[in-house]
Structure 1
Amino acid sequence: MTKIALEADHLSFDGIAHGFFGRAGGVSPAPFDSLNISTSQGDSPENVTQNLRIIAKELGTDPTRFGLLKQVHSIDVVTFDGKADWSNRPNADGMVSNVPGTAIGIQTADCGPVLFCDPDNKVIGACHAGWKGAVGGIVHRTLDAMEAIGANRHKIHAVLGPCIHPENYEVGDEFKQNVLHDWPELEGHFPYPPGATKPHFDLPGTIMHQLESAHLHTAVNLNICTYANNETYFSHRKATHLGAKTGRQLSAIAIL
């Protein structure tokens, strides 16, 4: 794989390819420059398809075997059978597979992308953890789905990729109260950074809490903030603050 994707040592195994892709390496013009993989903000379908093909090539898989989702901030997880249809994607926020030669991917622009693999049993997983998914249980749902197709939870390695960090994620009192009404155990994930007058939400901390409570082999946070590193990664919140449009990046994993 070339340098257009960030790789994590904890997912680097024989027979497994992965990458946390950012802005670089694609064909889309500004403000989607350049490896945008979503048409939701106005980029052309032709550009997005070409960018997805570039990513598939980097992973060493065929685009027709590259599973993608229509993400809806749910806690639903689907099992990929190896037959991709990018024009008719399942509504879900997690995907798993044990089919050799397949790849699966998650798109984000501040939410948390988590990639999983059990290298011994050759089972992979990926989930999109925005705040709803993170507090609702998308991580555990994805792990359950991996186990259902042959993974051993204690052999699973998980890596949280670039996402927005709490210092840049102001949410306000109503958001905090609504979350704590259903999940009071998350009280500690609403910090007040220096100078803040409203609570912020610790999305990566919440996701890592879920991962660490699952008793996996490894759970690692790459500790990269999309908002603070907007030149490298798409950030929806940063673009909103600038009054601009932005693209979406892909985090993907494959069984070769």
Structure 2
Amino acid sequence: MDTFLLDTLLRNCLAEDLEHGDITTQAIFQPEDRSTACFITRHPMTVVGMETVAARVFRLLDPEVACTNAVSDGSRVEKGVELLRISGATRTLLRAERVALNLVQRLCGIATLTTAFTDAVRHTRAVIVDTRKTTPGLRLLEKYAVRAAGGRNHRYSLSDGVLIKDNHIAACGSITEAVQRVRARVPHTINIEVETDTLAQVEECLACRVGVIMLDNMDLATMRQAVALINGRATVEASGGVNLQTVTGIAETGVDIISVGALTHSARACDIGMDWRE
């Protein structure tokens, strides 16, 4: 992650929570008070963000805080594992606690769900990718969590690549017309992807020589037909309604990519506690 962008994001998160200060902590503890605490897992999970995010949150408030024993991003751990040890001013530990926990609980949830999806397709050639269905303001972190857990990223933003979707086609009139307009305006170095939901649209994409064909909400039988029709002439992406019950069957049709919005819009936050040591 770009640390310039990351630190700006984290400072905004801290400002939202601290605003004019922590009146409870400031009333109870003095600047010279020191403490140690640990992040502890409450259940099995895939870990993301201990050093890259949580430790950075504490150090942004106080560079003197010591963050040690951080579990590496992408590690799979069991219940009761120490993920990070934090030592420093008691005021800093308490002021940064909620922001750091909120972020890593979210990221570990995304990573844990991503792990489940990648495990389900490991025996195939398909790769699991995320979408732009991210929490506003947290896309940088959420897409990082997907990568750390073994998934890959689709477009980060609308400027990253051409994806002609159903509404583009409906408003333009046809796939062929939309592709022609794109090619007239976009550099040749940019790949073109088109969303399809019928075999006729797949054939139209092949006639237009697009680089990536998305099979949107197709049943498995139609998807297999589409993969056979494309026959390596384009990268094949499956999308729409993908879940842990359906993803293995989708992967076994021979698609190259499976995009899963649920990785970021439906991941359940993991339960991580900050336990006091001294």
Taking structure 1 as the reference length, the TM-score comes to 0.25
Question: Greater helix share, 1 or 2?
Answer: 2
Structure showing greater radius of gyration is: 2
